[in-house]
Amino acid sequence: MKACILAGGKGTRLKHLFPDTPKGLVPLGGKPILEHQIDLLVNAGINEIFLLTGYRGELIQEYFGSGEDRNATLHYLQEDVPLGTAGAFKQLEGKVSEDIVVLYGDLVVDFDLATLLAFHQKQKALATLVVHPNDHPYDSDLLEINEECDVLNWFPKNNRPDGIYANLVNAAIYVFRPDIFSWIPKGCTDFGTDIFPLLLQKHQKICAYRTSEYIKDMGTEDRWQKSSHDFESGLTARRNLTNPQRAVFLDRDGTINRDVDLLCDMTQLELLPRASQAIRQINNSEFLSICVTNQSVIARNLCDLGELQQIHNQLETLLARDQAYLDHIYFCPHHPDSGYPEERAEYKINCECRKPNTGLVLAAKEK
């Protein structure tokens, strides 16, 4: 397998800290961010890497050379005019005949690449996109997925109506089958704006790989400072799923939002005071923030699964306005008491996921 790093960024928002420095050479922990990405790929057994450069690309090539000293073979393609993310990638057509990993060159990353690749192979998708919640979904591309991890809808950051959305963000790491090139026209074109919406329109299979591992865009001064702190503290490496993870498990009603008896409409949801602040503190700690909640409104037929998802979208939207997020929400739709005419009998069961049973926690552990 081969990999591609899109490293054409100017680093405009970092120019006060690093003038005349291409974004890929911005330092993190004493070495360029691109070097961390190359190390991640090589350690996963991917040794042939294409670096697609733009602004001051000669500095990147001068720094890394052939890659031989890093046990890698590096190829450079310099764009003379901006081609967009997909347009730049199109330059590899004819050079790649197998699945390929694509990373954006401004990401601070440490994740279990082997698990991502196994997921991609299992899903048999044309494209697998890494997704996660973050503390700035308002300036990120958002997705809607189903329980099988198929991408259903794509909401680009630059052309998204105001509304209620799940905090599920495109993390800018992809795995593509080689036939992806047939869907990319020549010229200036972008994955988020052009290609992914086209693939969905044409009913091509795109899957989402959700992870809580460390993947952050360091393209602003604040984000670079935060990423540098996390790297120096070791948090970046500890979030890799090859390591044991720690989490804070939160109930929903009465803990995050006001307790409304049998909340079944998103307009009823109101955050408790300081709930966002508390969750943001978890986000900035060593711990994952995971919500586990009994939602018998499904079994009672007060709302359906789609309406419950809208309630959770509302919850995530309100938290995101305060730069807070939940790494995951797990819910039990069941209720043990049956015999009511309006109930949904298939959910009126004794189950292992209804608290105080441990099924939801165990599901999170397995994930």
Catalytic residue IDs: 251, 253
Q: Output DSSP code: residue 271.
A: B
Cite the beta strand spans of the chain per DSSP E.
2-7, 27-28, 31-32, 48-53, 73-78, 100-104, 107-110, 127-132, 142-145, 151-155, 169-176, 206-210, 214-217, 247-250, 288-294, 328-332
Nearest CA to 38 among 54, 51, 22? 51
Q: What span, in angstroms and rounded, lies between the C-alpha atoms of 330 and 351?
A: 14
- Chain mean position to CA 255: 26
Nearest CA to 28 among 84, 119, 107? 107
Q: What span, in angstroms and rounded, lies between the C-alpha atoms of 151 and 119?
A: 14
Which tokens sit at 275? 């709930």
- Taken as a whole, the chain contains a residue count of 367
> 33-64: buried (b, 16+ CB within 10 Å) or exposed (e) per residue?
bbbbbbebbbebebbbbbbbbbbbbebbeeeb
